[in-house]
């Protein structure tokens, strides 16, 4: 996956961070010698009290900064973190999901798994048309020169031929991106053009990141097994019974969540896999909540804008 460099207001960026080293445990500087020399008990206690007060103030300041960092990563007023923390104790158990699937749930699961088995075929007219539709949704004012064109790099594909990027996930990754563009166009364009948040010089490439999100969800939900065995996967199949588009909606919410985590972590391009891991862990927790009966009940869904 190749990073995208910001070239203007419609593209993206990246940066890292560092922590300062401690300077009060060396034993050689003046402050350290004052602490180590126990000649005046009153003075020592006074210094210790001042240090504790200073630590208390600094730690409170750091916590405040971290809170602000996560708040800034949220999209507008839709801060889902507080609601999530209040609900985190209400988790389903494996035993509560031991009921067999209904015929309707099995039917929808099978249909989704059939989608997973469909590779992207650049010779199929319907696959070609889906790719053109994705371009038109992303750049409606710019004509596409061809299915193989340097223009595709503007969307975050690795090369001029997007079909080479679908090999690891198949046609469903394109379907996910197209669903995102059509159903939540504001969110789609916000992530595509990296609008909002403090962006870095090198950013994750949008299209390839989307394929990685699709692949992550397939693994997380254990959809390649005959029936999911993990708790998030079992719960998801029940959500699928309520909404046939549950996987596509989950993809959109997961993409938004990944971007929010990216901003909160102030991640660099080389940290993309770590951001994806944190995103997966968050979704696993959300899919284990007792009060999630529809895909739109997930806290991460609140990040989406239509």
Give the lowest-confidence range in 66-70, 83-87, 177-181. Answer: 66-70
Q: What totals of helices (H) and strands (E) does the chain contain, helices first?
A: 11, 2
Whether 198 maps to a domain, the answer reads: yes
pLDDT in tens, 241-283: 999 999 999 999 999 999 999 999 999 889 999 999 999 999 9
d(CA 296, CA 150): 37
- pLDDT at residue 268, as a whole number: 85
Instruction: Write out the residue range of the structural domain in which residue 149 sits.
Output: 99-305
Whether 3 shows a pLDDT value over 70: the answer reads no
| Cα 132 to chain centroid, rounded | 26
Tokens of 279: 């995103």
Whether 172 shows a pLDDT value over 60: the answer reads yes
Query: pTM of the prediction?
Result: 0.72
Whether 151 maps to a domain, the answer reads: yes
Q: In the predicted model, what is the mean pLDDT of the chain?
A: 78
Whether 220 maps to a domain, the answer reads: yes
Nearest 10 degrees: CA dihedral of 94, 96, 97, 103?
Answer: 160
Contact 298, 253 (CB under 8 A): yes
Contact 260, 246 (CB under 8 A): no
Task: Count how many domains the chain has.
Answer: 1
In Å, what is the CA distance from 19 to each residue of 15, 16, 263, 268, 272? 14, 11, 18, 16, 20
d(CA 264, CA 266): 5
Contact 225, 274 (CB under 8 A): no
Percentage of residues in the chain with pLDDT exceeding 90? 61
DSSP state at residue 160? S
- Which contacts of 181-186 are long-range, i.e. CB under 8 A and separated by 24 or more positions? 181/134, 181/137, 181/138, 182/137, 183/248, 183/249, 183/252, 183/306, 184/252, 184/304, 184/305, 184/306, 185/137, 185/306, 186/305, 186/306
Find tokens 């190749």 and name the residue. 2
Closest by CA position to 271, among listed 7, 12, 17? 17
DSSP state at residue 297? G
Whether 178 maps to a domain, the answer reads: yes
Whether 129 maps to a domain, the answer reads: yes
Whether 203 maps to a domain, the answer reads: yes
Whether 209 shows a pLDDT value over 50: the answer reads yes
Give one word for 156, left, alpha or beta, with left for phi > 0 and alpha for psi -120 to 50.
left
In Å, what is the CA distance from 37 to each residue of 43, 61, 260? 10, 30, 49
More confident residue, 160 or 15: 160
Whether 143 maps to a domain, the answer reads: yes
């Amino acid at each position: 996956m190749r990073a995208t460099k910001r070239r203007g207001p419609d593209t993206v960026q990246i940066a890292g961070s560092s922590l300062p080293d401690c300077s009060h445990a060396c034993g050689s500087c003046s402050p350290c010698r004052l602490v180590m020399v126990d000649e005046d008990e009153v003075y020592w206690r006074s210094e210790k009290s001042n240090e504790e007060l200073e630590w208390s103030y600094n730690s409170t300041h750091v916590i405040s900064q971290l809170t602000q960092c996560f708040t800034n990563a949220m999209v507008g007023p839709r801060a889902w973190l507080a609601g999530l923390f209040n609900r985190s104790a209400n988790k389903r158990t494996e035993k509560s999901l031991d009921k067999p699937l209904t015929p309707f749930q099995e039917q929808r699961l099978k249909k989704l798994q059939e989608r997973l088995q469909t590779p992207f075929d650049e010779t199929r007219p319907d696959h070609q048309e889906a790719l053109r539709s994705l371009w038109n949704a992303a750049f409606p004012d710019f004509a596409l020169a061809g299915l193989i064109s340097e223009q595709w790099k503007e969307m975050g594909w690795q090369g001029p031929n997007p079909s080479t990027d679908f090999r690891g996930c198949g046609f469903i990754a394109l379907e996910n991106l197209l669903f995102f563009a059509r159903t939540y166009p504001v969110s789609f364009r916000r992530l595509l053009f990296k609008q909002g948040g403090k962006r870095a010089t090198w950013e994750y490439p949008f299209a390839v990141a989307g394929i990685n999100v699709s692949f992550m969800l397939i693994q997380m939900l254990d959809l390649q097994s005959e029936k999911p065995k993990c708790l998030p996967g079992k719960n998801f199949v029940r959500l699928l019974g309520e909404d046939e588009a549950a996987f596509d909606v989950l993809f959109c919410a997961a993409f938004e969540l990944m971007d929010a985590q990216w901003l909160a972590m102030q991640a660099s391009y080389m940290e993309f896999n770590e951001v994806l891991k944190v995103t997966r862990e968050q979704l696993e927790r959300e899919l284990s909540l007792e009060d999630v009966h529809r895909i739109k009940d997930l806290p991460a869904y609140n990040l989406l804008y239509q």
